[in-house]
Structure 1
């Protein structure tokens, strides 16, 4: 008899948690990941590549991570984008978890999984390429729209 009562209580509790959304994590869909990136994210990503002190860069990277989690349900490891410092640099990597900004010349080797996004960034067609731990790449156009998502193929 006690096991029947326990199952009823657990079922009731699970129903309440499901109704409030507290009992499950949000299911991330490909539609969530392809939502347009807003101007605030563009500005933050642009600023990450600027001359910031370490504390400001870390704080800004945390804000970007939080925005991605809230808005899109997933957080990229970082971004690859065209570098505008001039020769010898052609592209750069922004790492959201270690607040690393690294610039690369054409012959430099970019670490994986960021290297997969390099050719996409060099086309100049995208504002930046989001790089996820799974190897998925999400190219983001200058208007904020996201183009597909490829599994590590540029």
Structure 2
């Protein structure tokens, strides 16, 4: 005797509740060429402006400014994991003599201003000369590349 595949008993109603813990979102981590392509994309004006504001309040930036910058980075790269973010950002310092550049460190929580000739952390020192170039607002420092960002958000990749 044949059995129906679909239950024809429509009188019974079933209530199903799903808790947020039961729902999972599948994310795909970008790697290789896909990650490189994503990091070459033009940066948003909001992100560029937020990084550029680091010089606006003197030698030390407030924790609120740093938190805003961390949020801007997260907003700029929502499809990346935190370890794919820049390990630091370096930019020309406009505070005047004796300062030359400033950096946002690897943990994205400390802004330091460096005087001419003062040693930068080893990973960041690679971007010092490029940060002083007038065409770039800031340099994103990654383990294997530098990404120079212009005022309109265009990105130039420097290998090394």
Question: What's the TM-score, normalizing by structure 2?
Answer: 0.70
Q: 1:85: Cα distance to partner?
A: 0.5
Change (3 A) 1:59 1:23: closer
Q: In structure 1, what is the Cα distance between the partners aligned to 2:61 and 2:146?
A: 28
Unpaired stretches in structure 1, ≥5 consecutive residues: 1-19
Q: In structure 2, what is the Cα distance between the partners aligned to 1:92 and 1:23?
A: 34
**1:62 equivalenced with 2:66 (yes/no):** no
Q: SS of the counterpart of 2:157?
A: coil
Change (3 A) 1:142 1:80: same
Q: Which residue of 1 aligns with 2:38?
A: 32
1:1-154 superposed matches below 5 A: 22=26, 24-27=28-31, 28-51=34-57, 54-70=62-78, 74-95=84-105, 97-132=107-142, 134-151=143-160
Question: What's the TM-score, normalizing by structure 1?
Answer: 0.72
Q: Deviations over 1:85-107 (max 9, x none)?
A: 11111111123624211111111
Change (3 A) 1:94 1:75: same
* Count of matched residue pairs: 131
Higher radius of gyration, 1 or 2: 2
Q: RMSD value over aligned CA atoms?
A: 2.5
Unpaired stretches in structure 2, ≥5 consecutive residues: 1-23
The structure in which a higher percent of residues are helix is 1
